[in-house]
Amino acid sequence: MLHFVWDSISFPTLLIFLIVFLFVADYMKNRNPKNFPPTPIRLPFVGHLYLMDFKDPISSVKKLTKKYGDIFGMSMGSMKVVIVNGMRLVKEVLVNQGENFLERPEMPIDKDIFSKIGLISSSGHLWKAQRRFTLTTLRNFGLGKRSVEERIQEECRFLVDAFKDEQGNPFDPQFTLTNAVSNVICSLTLGNRFDYHDEDFQNLLKLMHETVFLQGAVTTQLYNSFPSIMKFLPGAHQTIFKNSKLLKSYMQEQINKHKEDWNPLEIRDYIDSYLQEIAKDKGSDTFGEEHLIICLLDLMFAGTETTSSTLRWAVLFMASYPEIQARVQAEIDAVIGQARQPVLEDRNNMPYTNAVIHEVQRKANI
């Protein structure tokens, strides 16, 4: 009987049935929940991706804001998002109701790389435990205190010497600046700084930079929308996966080196502290080496890329606006002089330089 029914169904009929089934399934799966904000017309399977210019997504969102208001919903492939626009509403969401919006969206590429652990991708109890431990540990090693300021001053001396070595010739300061910034966080997490000519560490910085850069690639965004399809296709997301394996391998090597001479009575840095926490809490799903690897990467990315980008923008603006550079230099000479390094307390006596730093952060794309 079933064989007869199957033989009587033509291929066009079967194809139509499958298409209708897929459309109905897509509709049922992507129905908006109750009280969901207004949304543009959604296309099956792709959602609202057709409205986005991936080269300039901010402009796309601005156009939609004019039509749908400061709060509206979108379906980015298989993921629903709510767009909130304007300082008042953003403050309401992230500050006044911050507790209700603590958890991060589950981005497929971040989930596959960071496994929802660490400091950035985790949530709930796990996130609170990692955050509490990390803040306490970094403060114990001087974060926010005079000792870290001294490490920054020491690194500045190395940076100035590296610039002097160029002897006034044109050069790209990107990875020198990045190396200097990362050395500050490395001194807290890994227990040492790295020479600007250390090939292994330079490769690490290049992998990090490429990974951050490729997060904005079209194929990466498509992976976040259609992970089950894009995982089989080439693109920037595949490079990110390859880089993440190399980055994790590097951090595992650093952990292994620490384990070789680890002494619970002489805690040197963040890795030592974390190993001590693992030893105290054996069998726990909160602290483990896999968590430590991701925490180290989170600290490296968070403590390096944004500050390095800010400094590179500052260098660019100073070169583009020599008159402002001259006023900053004059204030530095008047307040600090040439005989000592700047300290944090100098900020109160340097309003113009402080204003320029804030303007760099406001104007630059960081």
pLDDT of residue 262: 92
CATH of range 124-315; options 3.30.870.10, 1.10.630.10, 2.60.120.330, 3.40.640.10: 1.10.630.10
Check residue 161 and give its pLDDT. 95
Grade residue 22 by pLDDT with cuts at 50, 70 and 90: low
Examine the pLDDT at 115 and tell me if it is beyond 90: no
Pairing of strands 79-84, 71-76: antiparallel
Average pLDDT over residues 180-192: 94
End-to-end CA distance of the chain: 66
Task: Give me the mean pLDDT over the 136-156 stretch.
Answer: 88
pLDDT of 44 reads 82
Each residue of 34-84: pLDDT tens digit?
A: 888 988 888 887 788 888 887 888 888 899 999 999 999 988 777 788 999
Q: Which amino acid is at 202?
A: Q
Check the CA dihedral 112-115-118-124 and report its sign: positive
What mean pLDDT comes out for the span 131-159? 90
* 3-class state of residue 86 by DSSP: coil
Strands, E assignment, 106-165: none
Nearest to 130 by CA among 256, 285, 236: 285
Answer whether residue 23 shows pLDDT above 70. no
* 117 closest CA partner among 294, 241, 302, 296: 294
The pLDDT-based confidence of 296 (bands split at 50, 70, 90) is very high
Where does the chain hold its CATH 1.10.630.10 domain(s)?
124-315
The share of the chain scoring above pLDDT 70, in percent, equals 93
Predicted confidence at residue 79, as pLDDT, reads 77
**Number of neighbours of residue 282 by Cβ within 10 angstroms:** 8
The rounded mean pLDDT for the chain is 89
> What is the per-residue pLDDT for 12?
77
Q: Which two tokens stand for residue 37?
A: 């904000």
- Per the CB < 8 A criterion, the answer to whether 356 and 324 are in contact is yes
Q: What is the pLDDT of residue 2?
A: 47
CA gap 116, 3 in Å, rounded: 48
The enclosing H or E element of 79 equals strand 79-84
Among the residue ranges 4-13, 118-127, 357-366, the one predicted with the least confidence is 4-13
Token pair listed for 105: 């969206």
Confidence of residue 3 (pLDDT cuts 50, 70, 90): low
User: Does position 163 have pLDDT exceeding 60, yes or no?
Assistant: yes
Rounded Cα distance, 323 and 327, in Å = 6
pLDDT tens digits, 208-244: 999 999 998 889 988 888 888 899 999 999 999 999 9
> Model confidence over 240-293: pLDDT tens digits?
999 999 999 999 999 999 999 999 889 999 999 999 999 987 777 889 999 999
Q: Which residue has the higher pLDDT, 76 or 120?
A: 120
Instruction: Give the pLDDT of residue 263.
Output: 92
In terms of pTM, does the model score above 0.75? yes
Q: How does pLDDT run across 298-352, given as a tens digit for each residue?
A: 999 988 988 999 999 999 999 999 999 999 999 999 999 988 999 999 999 999 9
Q: Which amino acid is present at 257?
A: K
Q: Can you tell me the mean pLDDT for 203-207? A: 94
Lowest mean pLDDT among 87-91, 140-144, 162-166, 334-338: 140-144
Flag whether pLDDT at 132 surpasses 90: yes
The 10 Å Cβ neighbour count of residue 271 is 24
